[in-house]
Chain A
Amino acid sequence: MSLASQNARSMINFLFLVTLLIYLAAGIFQTLSLAIGNRSEASVIRPAIEQIAFWCTIIGFAFLSVFIALWWLQQGHFPMTHWTDSTAFFAWAITLVYLLIVRLTHLRTLGSFVMPVAFIAILISYSFATHTAALPEPLQNYWLLAHTTLIFLAYAAFIAAFGFGLMYLIAERKIRKKTDALFDNLLPSLGTSDELGYRCTILGVILLTMGVIVGSLWTQYIRDVPWRWLDAKVISTLVTWFIYVAQIGIRQFWGWHGRRAAYAAIIGFVAVLCTYVGVDLFLDSMHTYR
């Protein structure tokens, strides 16, 4: 390896470390701002903490984008072969969707639930950093980019729905228990959490459907890599897809919403994790990250 490329590599690593720390800060401050609430002695500093958390999120997102771009340039193809690539991109997608939701709804509280997930993703990515795996030549094309981007954005939307589900359950618990701390929470109303969670689910299903379609079209163009339809990842993805589609259908036809929808969002989240991580760890699949 040449000296120049070694320097570049260490620079990228340093950038990644900084990104990791910023994400850690974002996660901590976000959780802290929710924990403080708006009724306690410390409530004076809460807006400041929330502000810090939000800026950490934005700066962290910018750093992560730069990192992925540099990593892409260095590898010469869209980085999506190793765990380090995939989890970094996962965190990127989660943050992107979160920032879009904040832009539309101003509900920064969601960050207290999704930013820790993003941080864990980056932590995993960082612990594998500098690992690369060769991507077979025939897979190096825009199909890969389109397919994975769609799937990961779908995952991110499902994680946002999961966040809203948790927010719903916590808020409902407070209202039901009639606790004194009824108004000290910064959570949105039940109706809002429920509605936004549902919208995230719909968005996720649309993206996932598109991702799967792109993926299956892609198979038509691959000749050199053997393709099996009964791939573990494919089956698992279809199960996840079905879980979410069923949620939407039941809600539309039987009016299931609120607490049940929140539980469904959590089940969906588990399914996403199984599809994303579980299949790779325990089953054999051609989608496996190395």
Chain B
Amino acid sequence: MNHIVSIGTSHHVAPIEFRERLAFSEEQLIESFQHFRESDQVQEAVILSTCNRVEVYAVLNSVRTAEAVAKVLVEFLSRCHRIDMESLKKWTYLQHNVETIRHLFRVTSSLDSMVVGESQILGQVKDAYDTSRSAGSTGTILNRLFTKAFSVGKRIRSETTITTGAVSISYAAVELAKKIFNTLEGKTVAIIGAGEMSELTAKHLVANGVSNVIVANRTYERAVNVAQKFDGIPLAYDSDLNFLIDADIVISSTNAPDYLIKRQPLAKIMRKRKHRYMFLIDIAVPRDIEPDVNKLDHAFLYNIDDLEAVVASNLKDRQQEATRAEQIVSEETKRFYDQLQIFQVNPTIKALHQQFREIADTELQACFYKATLSDQQEEVIASMTQAIVKKLLHHPMQNLRCAVNDGDADHGQYVQALQELFALDVNDE
């Protein structure tokens, strides 16, 4: 029987120092595929190497015990990356059959990712699979497994909402802006003060269509420095906030001890900008914007706590959705494993049938040759032999199928026994 296994490491079990040592370079990938093609034990293999995880999925042939499987793979990794066996055993996990299937399904559905629901992993697994396939190291089983994994990943993305909802403050700000403005095209964002968070938010806004950036700072030089990054307009301000007339989105993160933007002055500015919507994001502590600003018509104020609440609620939702996604993974894992069992048992059943039929046919021909029989007699004898073959095979086949369907772990041994006892030549293809 074939053994589907995976060995690997991820951010869950190993620190970055170890992961980078295990990561595969281009050359190492080529060498490894070469090694697998020549190997007798490794029938198929896919290597997935990203910054958060390094995993090898393989189908091993004629390896019986779990220890033997571990030995083959650990030795391979140890040789390939020159890492001692001890640390490999400490920092990696090894999975067999059902566990491997479930693990891959979880990985492609981004349930195993650092941020549950992140969107990159599906593409990364696809790339890894394509590379392995074009290197000729995959076969029927891994082709089936990975194709299924991609469809499971897609199913979970469409049937659950683990991928929706911003899980960072800057993205939450972008999503909010999209809920307010009909389009971000042509809009202007004003950054007051400087800071990593406000720059990141502005960057996301620009990526989503915002056209103009105004950078206001108390010192002009600083404003120029930040403005360069966005092709924006630098501005020095003291108490005059009239530049806000052109600003649709305001991100404030100054060190000012008092409110910088107050309700009354802003009301005047809103009148001057003909009450077009203004979205104000206050990420400063202490706050820069008077909370009452949120009471002005067409002005919407979110401070850092509000944004964090949005993110927290989105994360909570993702967590809930992840539970549903795990159910889908379990369901699909079971289904795929059952199909795979049947798929793996079928060649043996076929071979056995064929062998019996061939023996019967040969003997029939010999019998017809010796005795002179009428057509009708020949027909009767032929159908009798067929019936004997069928009945002889009936119970063994039925029990074998039952063992497979019940998930009986022994069926692998049955298949092995059948193949050896009857000297079957089973071709997996």
Q: Write the residues of chain A forming the contact surface with B, with a CB cutoff of 8 angstroms.
A: 38-39, 41, 43-44, 171, 175-176, 178, 180, 182-183, 188-192, 194-195, 255-260
Which residues of the partner chain A approach B178 to less than 8 Å between Cβ atoms?
A: 189
Q: What are the residues of chain B within 8 A of A175 when measuring CB–CB? A: 176, 179-180, 300
Residue B302 is within 8 A (CB to CB) of chain A in the complex: yes
A176 to B180, CA, bound (A): 11
Q: Find out whether the CB atom of A259 lies under 8 angstroms from the CB atom of B165.
A: no
Closest to A193 in B: B182
B188 within 8 A of A: no
Chain A residues contacting B370 (CB-CB under 8 Å) are: none
- Residues in A neighbouring B298, C-beta threshold 8 A: 257-259
Tell me whether A182 and B161 are in contact (CB under 8 A): no
Whether A183 contacts B277 by the Cβ 8 Å rule is: no
Q: Which residue of A lies closest to B166 (CB)?
A: A183
Query: What are 13 of the A-B contact pairs (CB < 8 Å)?
Result: A38-B161, A171-B179, A175-B300, A182-B313, A183-B165, A183-B175, A183-B179, A191-B180, A191-B183, A192-B182, A255-B274, A258-B275, A260-B297
Q: Which residue on chain A has the smallest CB distance to residue B182?
A: A191
Selected from B181, B182, B306, the residue in CB contact (under 8 A) with A178 is B306
**Are the CB atoms of A180 and B277 closer together than 8 Å?**
no
Q: A182-B313, A183-B164 are in contact. Are A44 and B175 (CB under 8 A)?
A: no
Is B310 positioned at the interface, with any CB of A under 8 Å from its CB? Answer: yes
B310: contacting residue among A39, A178, A189, A256, CB under 8 A: A178
Chain A residue with the shortest CB-CB distance to B159: A44
* Contact of A189 with B182 in the complex, beta carbons under 8 Å: yes
Residues B180 and A43 in contact, CB atoms below 8 Å apart:
no
Q: Are A183 and B314 in contact (CB under 8 A)?
A: yes
**Complex: chain A residue closest to B175, CB-CB:** A183
- Shortest C-beta distance, B286 to chain A (Å), equals 20
CA of A240 to CA of B317 in the docked complex: distance in angstroms?
46
**Contact between A39 and B317, CB atoms less than 8 A apart:** yes
B306 contacts across to A, CB distance below 8 A: 178
Given A43-B161, A183-B165, verify A190-B275 contact (CB < 8 Å): no
- What residues of A have a CB within 8 angstroms of the CB of B182 in the complex? 188-192, 194-195
Number of CB contacts from chain A to chain B under 8 A: 65
**CA–CA, A106 and B313, complex, Å:** 29
Known contacts: A183-B165, A258-B277. The answer to whether A190 contacts B179 by CB under 8 A is yes
Any A CB within 8 A of the CB of B304: no
B309 within 8 A of A: yes
Residues of A within 8 A of B176 (CB): 175, 182
User: Does B294 interact with chain A (Cβ within 8 Å)?
Assistant: yes
Taking the nearest CB of chain B, how far is it from the CB of A199, in angstroms?
A: 12
**A-binding residues in B (CB < 8 A):** 159-161, 164-165, 175-176, 178-183, 274-277, 294, 297-298, 300, 302, 306, 309-310, 313-314, 317, 324
Query: How far in angstroms is the closest Cβ of chain A from B205?
Result: 15
11 A-B pairs besides A183-B179, A257-B275 with CB distance below 8 A are A38-B164, A39-B164, A175-B180, A175-B300, A176-B294, A178-B302, A178-B310, A183-B164, A190-B181, A257-B298, A259-B298
Q: When the two chains form their complex, are residues A182 and B277 in contact, meaning their CB atoms are under 8 A apart?
A: no
Question: Which of A176, A180, A182, A256 has the most B CB atoms < 10 Å from its CB?
Answer: A182
- B275 near A255 with CB under 8 A, answer yes
Q: Are the CB atoms of A189 and B159 closer together than 8 Å? A: no
Please give the distance in Å from B158's CB to the nearest CB on chain A.
Answer: 9
Least CB distance from A8 to B in Å reads 49
Expressed in whole angstroms, the Cα–Cα distance for A259 and B300 within the complex equals 13
Picked from B161, B183, B277, the residue with its CB within 8 Å of the CB of A39 is: B161
Q: In the complex, A27→B179 CA distance in Å?
A: 26
Complex contacts, B275 vs chain A, CB 8 Å = 255-258
Decide: B309 and A191 in contact? CB cutoff 8 A.
no
> In the complex, how many angstroms separate the beta carbon of A167 from the nearest chain B beta carbon?
12
- Determine how close the nearest CB of chain A comes to the CB of B125; give it in whole angstroms: 24
A175 to B309 CA separation, bound complex (whole angstroms): 13
Docked complex Cα distance between A38 and B317 (Å): 11
How long is the Cα–Cα vector from A257 to B277 in the complex, in angstroms?
10
* B179 pairs with A182, CB closer than 8 A: yes
In angstroms, Cα B321 to Cα A39, docked, is 9
Complex partner residue of A191 from B164, B165, B277, CB under 8 angstroms? B277
Residue of B nearest to A185 (CB): B179
Taking CB atoms, residues of chain B closer than 8 Å to A195 are 182
Query: Which partner residue on chain A sits nearest B320 by CB separation?
Result: A41
Distance in Å: Cβ of B317 to nearest Cβ of chain A: 6
Tell me the minimal C-beta distance from B39 to chain A in angstroms.
Answer: 44
